[in-house]
Amino acid sequence: MEEIKGVLETVKRKSGKTYSEIAEETGLTNVYVAQLFKRQAQLKPDTVPKLKAALPELPDHVVDKMMEPPMRCYKPDLIQEPTVYRLNEAVMHFGESIKDIINEEFGDGIMSAIDFYCSVDKVKGVDGKDRVVLTFDGKYLPYSEQKSEHMVSKIKESAK
């Protein structure tokens, strides 16, 4: 996997394109493109021609690997990287309030991290300084009341 990530990094660097530029050319979010290049997301067949058009030097064997389901994981020491640490800190600091607002607005449930879109954007603040805008766009998943009559395993048992 490290070899594939190295090739992806080299192709991207040689292209001179940013994740956002590749995202614009492929119709993906910039974070999803970065996930593809880190082998944390799977390249879908419909996107292959767009990615190959954006990065013509991308080898076919690498594209084939990108289409395989990835091993989604993170390195435990990644939290020591300052940007990742601050993101974690922000979620931990605001998480309880975000959870309360989700529950007020939607009910008892969570935001999916699977049916999920994420992007990073740069805007100017009212003071003219650059600001980072992170957008987390996840499907709402309500918790279900766990009734035994709805359990398929219980239904099968009672049919015996």
To the query of whether residue 131 is one of the catalytic residues in this protein, the response is: no
Nearest to 139 by CA among 115, 107, 105: 115
Show Cβ contacts of residue 63 under 8 Å, excluding neighbours closer than 6 positions: 43, 48, 51, 52
Residue 113's Cβ-side half-sphere holds a number of Cα atoms within 13 Å equal to 2
Q: Which of 57, 68, 112, 131 is catalytic?
A: 112
d(CA 62, CA 14): 16
Judge contact between 41 and 66, C-beta under 8 A: no
Distance of CA 50 to the CA centre of its chain: 19
The yes-or-no answer on residue 86 being catalytic is yes
The residues with which 111 forms a beta bridge, in sequence order, are 140
Q: Which contiguous run of DSSP H or E holds residue 140?
A: strand 130-142
Which of 9, 68, 72, 86 is an active site residue?
86
Instruction: Catalytic residue, from 9, 57, 68, 89: name it.
Output: 89
Active-site annotation holds for 97: no
* Residues with catalytic roles: 86, 89, 112
